[in-house]
Amino acid sequence: MDNFTFFAPTYFAFGMGTENETGKYVKRFGGSKVLIHYGGGSVIRSGLLDRVKQSLEKEHLTYIELGGVKPNPRSGLVYEGIELCRNEKIDFILAVGGGSTIDSAKAIAAGVPYDGDFWDYYEGKPVENALSLGTVVTISAAGSEGSPDSVITKEEGMFKRGASGEGLRPKFTIMNPALAQTLPAYQTACGITDIMAHLYERYLTNTTEVEVTDRMIEALLLTMIHEGPRAIKDPDNYDARANIMWAGMMAHNNSCGVGRTQDWTSHEIEHELSALYDCAHGAGLAVVMPAVFKYNLKHNVMRFAQAAVRVWGCQMNFENPEETALAGIEALRQFLISIGMPKNFAELGAKEEDIEKLAHTACYGNVNTGTLGGFVELTQKDVENIYHLMV
């Protein structure tokens, strides 16, 4: 196991009705003038935004609003939010929504006290200082509610990049699983896929002797396999939503990723797809993951075999572990199809003729300089091969 530090100081309030305590937590964590940041109409239609506002008013907090966050959130709205916060002397940002809204709020929080262009952070500068931030989560997926990360799409060139840093951890996060009950099945499935991807990205490590984090990752994957289909079949199943919601946070607060190298190949390859075609991140990952895993299989057959046996219940073929490893990847693929995820480029709306461009942007983006991947170092040619497996 490698040396590491771990610090996850977000306060979580979990359960029915917790959104009505939002104001209390904003106050506890020092907010007085709040920007409420959200996406489209669903938080308005469901009455959630009104309940949150009432809870702020109860604590005599003032607020302004900035809606309009889109999936794969854009830099344009971030610039607008930074300007607004500066003009209105906002001291606390409250994200009400899913990962896109939270990530957009994080970008604004980082940008407000920063003299330069906020995009610097998305080119690799660590975020140490940011405005205080709280979240009310409506979708289990990104894990951004407990993580120090944010992903934004730059409109010039339509590429997606991530920022990271302790300044981006929310001070508090409100998690009411009932808020997810109105989600369409497709979005629920996208969230499940994203959570599973966060787990696989950590599972695919070159660090040996990491049984504790292996077992924790497997535990969270097993939870998704059990609860995911239940939430999709019965959207009102509160308990299934609750298990998924806690698993989604634990999958990405990094307690199961410490002390080991991580991969993030699937995310990097997917980001180019959702940036270019504006498909859902989870849907993209469903197509990307099996292709990446098959391509990287021979790098460590036993690691994939372990997942196959422990997570997917495959019988170990001791004479031919590769067969077991492949069976595990196929089980993942079939699971993702069974919850309604796309299985190839066509279903995703991606185009074969873009592959060279996609692979080039992935490998020569702002952060990468010719290769990507923490598990196997992949060149542009490798990435092209992987995209071709998805066609």
Q: Which residues bind a copy of itself (CB under 8 A)?
A: 1-18, 177, 208-213, 215-216, 218-220, 222-223, 226-227, 239-240, 242-244, 246-247, 250, 255, 258-259
| φ and ψ at residue 159, rounded to 5 degrees | -125, 155
The CB density around residue 82, as the number of other CB atoms within 10 Å, is: 22
Q: Which is nearer to a copy of itself, 22 or 361 (CB)?
A: 22
State which H helix or E strand residue 135 sits in.
strand 132-137
Residue 145 Cβ vs a copy of itself, minimum distance, rounded to whole Å: 12
Coil/strand/helix, residue 94: strand
Residue 140 Cβ vs a copy of itself, minimum distance, rounded to whole Å: 11
Q: Which is nearer to a copy of itself, 242 or 288 (CB)?
A: 242
Q: Which is nearer to a copy of itself, 227 or 382 (CB)?
A: 227
Q: Which is nearer to a copy of itself, 57 or 239 (CB)?
A: 239
Residue 246 Cβ vs a copy of itself, minimum distance, rounded to whole Å: 5
Q: Are 348 and 279 in contact (CB under 8 A)?
A: yes
| φ and ψ at residue 24, rounded to 5 degrees | -60, -45
Q: Which is nearer to a copy of itself, 14 or 364 (CB)?
A: 14
CA 132, 178, 221 angle in degrees (round to 5)?
85
Nearest in space to 25 (alpha carbons), one of 51, 1, 59: 59
The CB density around residue 135, as the number of other CB atoms within 10 Å, is: 28
Q: What pairing do the DSSP bridges indicate for beta strands 159-164 and 149-154?
A: antiparallel
Q: Which is nearer to a copy of itself, 153 or 306 (CB)?
A: 306
State how far the alpha carbon of 269 is from the alpha carbons of 67, 142, 292, 325, 365, in Å.
29, 17, 9, 22, 11
**Residue keyed to tokens 């410490």:** 258
Cα separation, 177 vs 180, whole angstroms: 6
Residue 15 Cβ vs a copy of itself, minimum distance, rounded to whole Å: 3
Residue 217 Cβ vs a copy of itself, minimum distance, rounded to whole Å: 8
State how far the alpha carbon of 123 is from the alpha carbons of 14, 107, 126, 162, 331, in Å.
34, 13, 9, 8, 36
Q: Which is nearer to a copy of itself, 117 or 239 (CB)?
A: 239
Q: Are 260 and 370 in contact (CB under 8 A)?
A: no
Beta-carbon contacts of 304 under 8 Å, excluding residues fewer than 6 positions away, are 293, 297, 325, 326, 328, 329
Residue 110 Cβ vs a copy of itself, minimum distance, rounded to whole Å: 21
Residue 250 Cβ vs a copy of itself, minimum distance, rounded to whole Å: 7
Q: Which is nearer to a copy of itself, 222 or 389 (CB)?
A: 222
Specify the amino acid at residue 197: A
Q: Which is nearer to a copy of itself, 4 or 86 (CB)?
A: 4
Residue 38 Cβ vs a copy of itself, minimum distance, rounded to whole Å: 24
| φ and ψ at residue 19, rounded to 5 degrees | -65, -20
